[in-house]
Structure 1
Amino acid sequence: MEESRHERLSCLAVCAGAGGLALGLEQAGFDPVLLLDNRPVACETLRLNRPDWNVLETDLLDFVPEEHREVYDVDLLAAGLPRVKASAARVRENSAEELRLLEATVMLLHGVQPRALLVENLSELADRPAYEPIRTEIETELEHLGYQHRWFVVNAMEHGVPQDRKQGILVAFKGDVIHDFVPPLPDTGPPLTVGEVLGPSMAARGWPHAAAWAAQADRVAPTLVGGSWNRGGPDLGMTGSKRSWARMRVNGATVADVVPGPEDPWDASPDGTEMVKLTVEQAARLQGFPDDWSFAGTKTSRYRQVGHATPPPVGRVLGFAIRAALGRPAPAPPVRR
């Protein structure tokens, strides 16, 4: 019995993106039998980092689980879905693509029959009145299929990520397992700051202002936003986010190719014009990705993947909470081939 408690569990990851959620779940003891995403560059990133993962490039709406018997009866179906818009609750004809993907994920329960479901989306989906019609529709289908559910919100800054990033979470379990589920508890210590996390990388090429910059970047980052896949270049978010970055003397309007070097200027004054720029790799650190996780594609597509990802530490704590509810609290390490 004790040996079975340490076993690694199985999962199906849909809309896997750059693998943030899957990586966190792997750290919590869930190995994917299949990951699917419709973006070639995201699939390339997954294969680049985990050549042994079974990656399928396809749209979730076209996925037929009966053609992939390895997904049947997995322990967990996990989905890091595009953000659902509140307007989708009012327009049922030609409903938004994001809502269709949410509905398709729930319908996968028919063919996959997982022991647990994990869906990550925007925080408002979990608790705002505007999304009540969507929640009711999802809950009705879950109950019909014999799953009991819970909605809640997590903030990445409370789980080792230096970023104020709220996420709406839906978990569901077959039978009455939901009564054993406890959402992840926030860390007891203060959150990591941008300066703590990025200070060493800012100094990597001999930038003389690295220590001074890190000392004043003494807060968490605003939410990183991947932006539209169809237009624009990489930047760190909307106008409000750019203002927050400017207070840390970071130019949020663009992303750098390399960290600053010995000759790069910096102005610490609040209204100074010389600000530092972050690289894609530094943005990935702010999402909690390990340094050895690589991203395929151009700078813009790499940043898009980072910004849209679920922070791996959030995936990890959610995975541990789900394992505990399933009676498997202590995972063995993964076996890399």
Structure 2
Amino acid sequence: MNTLSALEICAGAGGQASGLERAGFAHALAVEIDRDAAATLRLNRPSWQVHEGDVREIDGRDYRGVDLVAGGVPCPPFSVAGKQLGADDERDLFPEALRLVREARPAAVMLENVKGLASTRFADYRGQILRELRDLGYEADWQLLFSSEYGVPQLRPRFILVAVRRAKHAFEWPAPTGTPPTVGTVLGAMMAQGGWGGAPRWAAQANSIAPTIVGGSKKHGGADLGPTRARAAWLALGVDGRGVADAPPSPDHPADHVPRLTNPMVARIQGFDPSWQFSGRKTSVYRQIGNAFPPPVAAAVGGAIRAALGAASGSARQTQIA
């Protein structure tokens, strides 16, 4: 399978990057401003060129001809928690992404954000982005995808923009892959690693997909699994969502213990490969994981982009969540 090149901005801890890698893309550059997240990228892929800094520091002309410009641009401008300021929010990096597209002229573009960007109040903003891309010669479209439709054990809706300029085939959004595994199926073995006797019973109870993992911002307090409603949903699955544990339950915990997830467990819920490691302290690691784009979804969309560009599809590195 021939490898395509990618320039990724706002790469975070590598959720989108590792998914695109599964789909057969090699990173010419990954840009990430957070120190710990950039360290995570280097830890897992020492061969990647990682720019630790602001995307505004990158000149797209240095990457002219790259196959794909991708990124998970910051979601606060379009999220309820971020007050949905949109283009008036200084954290809105869509203009910078479009600048890089103008300068690099990639064959394709893939940008993802929260479902809030799909709301009516941002219709003009979305239309403006589509017009700019079409003026540059791209066929572009937005789509709301649910991560659960691609093997990820949480709903996690993501609003994704794909634009293709040198397509050999019409771009088609990836078809759902079937019923997602349950939280118990995905985490049962991990919950039993410490010798807790209640793990089989817990896994049987956790028989649904998870609420959407929330990473939060640096202004947020310690690591927890979200606001009150999310914590109630976690509790229905037998999980204490008020924090993140350092280790799985031990043999000393009673059978009816309500455990907290560890960071490696949260990473599995997000669809990261078990081999993917994270750099930083506990809360930083949780935020990196919680803010990530699930790799299986990125792999599915990346594979669809490859097909549109006429490249061989599918990667031997595809992995199952369960």
Q: TM-score normalised to the size of structure 1?
A: 0.89
CA contact (8 A) 1:8 1:331 kept: no
2:204 is aligned to 215
Alignment of 1:55 onto 2:47: no
Q: How does 1:8-157 map to 2 (within 5 A)?
A: 8-66=3-61, 69=62, 71-83=63-75, 84-85=77-78, 87-89=84-86, 95-99=88-92, 101-125=93-117, 127-157=118-148
Alignment of 1:195 onto 2:195: no
**Offset at residue 178 of structure 1 (A):** 8.9
Supply the distance in 1 between the matched residues of 2:183 and 2:196 (Cα, whole angstroms). 17
Match of residue 150, structure 2, among 150, 159, 180: 159
**Offset at residue 266 of structure 1 (A):** 4.6
Larger radius of gyration: 1
**Offset at residue 333 of structure 1 (A):** 5.6
Greater alpha carbon shift after TM alignment, 131-140 vs 301-310: 131-140
- SS of 1:98's equivalent in the other structure is coil
**Offset at residue 145 of structure 1 (A):** 1.3
2:295 is aligned to 312
> For structure 2, which runs of at least 5 residues remain unmatched after alignment?
318-322
- SS of 1:124's equivalent in the other structure is helix
In the alignment, residue 327 of structure 1 is paired with which amino acid? G
- SS of 2:85's equivalent in the other structure is helix
**Offset at residue 179 of structure 1 (A):** 6.3
**Offset at residue 103 of structure 1 (A):** 1.6
Runs of 4+ in 1 over 6 A off after TM superposition: none
CA contact (8 A) 2:39 2:279 kept: yes
1:3 is aligned to none
Supply the distance in 1 between the matched residues of 2:225 and 2:46 (Cα, whole angstroms). 30
> For structure 1, which runs of at least 5 residues remain unmatched after alignment?
1-5, 268-273
In the alignment, residue 194 of structure 1 is paired with which amino acid? V
- SS of 1:234's equivalent in the other structure is coil
1:271 is aligned to none
CA contact (8 A) 1:65 1:108 kept: yes
CA contact (8 A) 1:151 1:169 kept: yes
CA contact (8 A) 1:116 1:171 kept: yes
**Offset at residue 45 of structure 1 (A):** 0.2
- SS of 1:97's equivalent in the other structure is coil
Supply the distance in 2 between the matched residues of 1:332 and 1:163 (Cα, whole angstroms). 24
In the alignment, residue 219 of structure 1 is paired with which amino acid? S
1:248 is aligned to 237
**Offset at residue 248 of structure 1 (A):** 1.2
Supply the distance in 2 between the matched residues of 1:168 and 1:160 (Cα, whole angstroms). 17
In the alignment, residue 138 of structure 1 is paired with which amino acid? I
Identity %: 43
CA contact (8 A) 2:168 2:310 kept: no
Match of residue 171, structure 1, among 147, 162, 175: 162
Supply the distance in 2 between the matched residues of 1:298 and 1:241 (Cα, whole angstroms). 24
**Offset at residue 332 of structure 1 (A):** 6.2
Supply the distance in 2 between the matched residues of 1:237 and 1:251 (Cα, whole angstroms). 11
**Offset at residue 174 of structure 1 (A):** 1.1
2:175 is aligned to 185
**Offset at residue 197 of structure 1 (A):** 0.2
Supply the distance in 1 between the matched residues of 2:73 and 2:232 (Cα, whole angstroms). 28
Alignment of 1:293 onto 2:290: no
Q: TM-score normalised to the size of structure 2?
A: 0.93
